[in-house]
Amino acid sequence: METELARLFWENKAKEEAVQNQSLKLQHGRGKCSVFLLDTSESMSGEGLRQMKEALLCILNEYKAMNMDDNVAVIGFGEETKFLHYYSNSYDSIIKCLENIKCKGPSPLEAGILLSFSCIKLGGGHTVISSPLIIRARVVVISDGHPTDMINPRETMATTTQSETFHRIHSLVKRQGKWNPFTFIPVGKDPNYQLLGALAAAAKGGRIIGWEEARLYARLSVNFTVAGDILSHFENKKITEDIVRWRYSNYGEGTEEDINQVCEILNEKEVYGDIDEDEDDENFIERYSTMPCVGTRVRRGRDWRYENQDSKGVGTVIGHTDRVGWILVEWDNGKRFDYRYGSNGIWAKYDLVICDEPRQIPQNETMIATGCLVRRGLDWQWGDQNGDDESIGTVYRVKRRGEVYYIFLTTELTCFSIDKVRWPNGIKSNYRFGHANKYDLFLCDPRDPEVMSKYRTQMCKNRKSAKLE
């Protein structure tokens, strides 16, 4: 139970920090995103701290030397787990945040990874296209590989690959590593190579890099571009090392390490392909017939205890969590949190109450958002999937493929809007709203009395059906 509460705390903290990262977009470059998790625990004192600083300095100095526009965020996990620097391409500012690091306390790597979600999956960062490669935000862990439990600071430092703590961390890395590669840099007098190696192997595109070769991580930014160029020019053809060397000459003189790194990227190119993140994303699922369905609009309820997370506004149910009695809500202010609704066998709590207030959109605006009402659009080609011509659905997810896509080496910004809608008949699916200039959906105006009358009639029918079930 304590572990579950700790996980919930750090997941919610990550959502809050994602909003903070988003508010600092003006400090972001258009390059690739990396979040560095620095082990600031007591076991890192002395040699571990020195090597960790030197490794990150080498990476940042390489970015500066290459005149890169990559974004770097830094999180420390030790006595405190917190951001040391939000995403930025100001490398001198990031270097300064390393000056006052003190190594104290336990090593809650699990909490650090959960907090990093604010940078890699909750909209804090962005994805870059180096065609045909899709480079999602990456996680780099610099540690001696002796993590401790995030709720028990007195746990022995001898964490093994058989411990419960390791299995939870391994599960996190494996699950998120499907989309966001993890790199591990072992440091210290006695790093646990076995544990860090097992974690690296759990993620697609996972790597271990020695701290003395840390600059190779920065070289990935250039080498992704080279690999993308080669794949574009030699599609469906065998690519030899000679071809790699020849194409690399267009980007300057590559070292043997550069050539090897490009070859590695080419060999694992499926890691950087277009992935349907909805396939395995367990957040946006209806699990329980007794819970409000996705798309349901809600306000704070009788058992509310979360201060002003909702900005005293309205939100949308976007999924049922895997914990009985909890649902996931996205508020109109953009924040997402889990809340109690109903009974889990121990308690019956209602943090939320259902309402019939659809998302308000400014007049003459056409930007779609979670909670908006929609009908069939001009480019609809999905038959009676929505029920009939008059059915009104609710948007419960707006996907822009990693929030924002930057097309590498151009000034063009491209957003692919892929919207999840739930119709009154219970069918849920993805639809285009602007992608390739196609609009499967028409945005309804909640100020229109006819729209609201139809919407409320549908809500009443759904509630009656739910009671009969």
Note down pLDDT in tens along the chain; length 469 residues. 578 788 888 988 988 888 888 777 667 778 899 999 999 999 999 999 999 999 999 999 999 998 888 999 999 999 999 999 999 999 999 999 999 899 999 999 999 999 999 999 877 788 888 878 889 999 999 999 999 998 876 544 456 777 888 999 999 999 889 889 999 999 999 999 999 999 999 998 899 999 999 999 999 989 999 999 999 888 878 899 999 999 999 888 889 999 999 999 998 888 887 655 444 466 788 888 889 999 999 999 999 988 888 989 999 999 998 878 889 999 988 878 889 999 877 788 999 999 989 998 776 555 788 899 999 999 998 888 988 888 999 999 887 543 333 333 333 333 445 668 999 988 988 888 877 778 899 999 888 999 999 888 887 776 655 554 4
User: What is the spatial distance between Cα 20 and Cα 23, in angstroms, rounded to a whole number?
Assistant: 5
DSSP per-residue codes, 175-231: HHTTTS-EEEEE-SSS--HHHHHHHHHHSTT-EE--GGGTHHHHHHHHHHHHHHHHH
Q: Which two tokens stand for residue 366?
A: 């056409």
Distance of CA 228 to the CA centre of its chain: 23
Backbone angles phi, psi at 318, to 5 degrees: -115, 0
Burial 142-161 (b: 16+ CB within 10 A, else e): bbbbbbbbbbeeebeeebee
Which domains can be identified in the chain, with CATH numbers? 2-214 (3.40.50.410), 297-355 (2.30.30.40), 373-468 (2.30.30.40)
Inter-residue contact 375 to 329 (CB < 8 Å): no
Structure confidence by residue, pLDDT tens digits, 420-443: 899 998 898 888 887 777 889 999
Query: Across 336-427, where does the E strand assignment appear?
Result: 336-343, 348-350, 352-355, 373-376, 393-399, 405-407, 413-414, 418-422
3-class SS at 154? coil
| SS3 category, 42 | helix
Tens of pLDDT, residues 120-141: 987 778 888 887 888 999 999 9
